[in-house]
Amino acid sequence: MTTTARPGKTFTITELAHEFDVTPRAIRFYEDLGLLSPARVGRNRVYGGRDRTRLKLTLRGKRLGFSLQEIKQLVTMYDTESDTAPQLDAFLGALAAHRQQLEQQLDDIRITLDELALHEARCRQLLATAQKRRTKP
């Protein structure tokens, strides 16, 4: 069940946790990092549409592999009222750097898998040779 944010709509921590399948503790952690800033009504946190959007962007950034610090920089960028071109350029730069890092990791994984295949083949060869020796009269 997805809740649609409407102007002026507020959410409890439980509602957001349920909607985005995260724990209230995770939401409080994002609040401590400055990613979310709910209003307070007594002792209760009240999250607005802005907080809901920031939580959604934070979780999307995590799925893409960005660090929380990178996510905070990107999300905070959109809080300014200035020209969006510099913000988009910065976002493209962050995406390019992240893509490069992931491509390097992918190359490293491919190399490691190739090395594992070589070791497995060598072990199988040695095992077959050892078994042949055992079965010879």
Domain boundaries along the sequence of the chain: 1-79, 83-137
pLDDT of residue 78: 67
Question: What stretch of H or E contains 45?
Answer: strand 44-46
pLDDT of residue 56: 94
With a cut of 70, say whether residue 19 has pLDDT above it: yes
pLDDT of residue 123: 97
pLDDT in tens, 29-39: 999 999 999 99
pLDDT higher at 51 or 64 = 51
pLDDT higher at 12 or 137 = 12
pLDDT in tens, 82-121: 667 777 788 888 889 889 999 999 999 999 999 999 999 9
- How high does pLDDT run on average in the chain? 88
17 pLDDT tier (thresholds 50, 70, 90): very high
Domain at 1-79: CATH code: 1.10.1660.10
6 pLDDT tier (thresholds 50, 70, 90): low
Q: What sign results for the dihedral spanned by CA atoms 7, 9, 13, 19?
A: negative
Q: At 46, is the secondary structure helix, strand, or coil?
A: strand
For the segment 52-69, the average pLDDT, to the nearest whole number, is 91
CA 73 – CA 70 distance, rounded (Å): 5
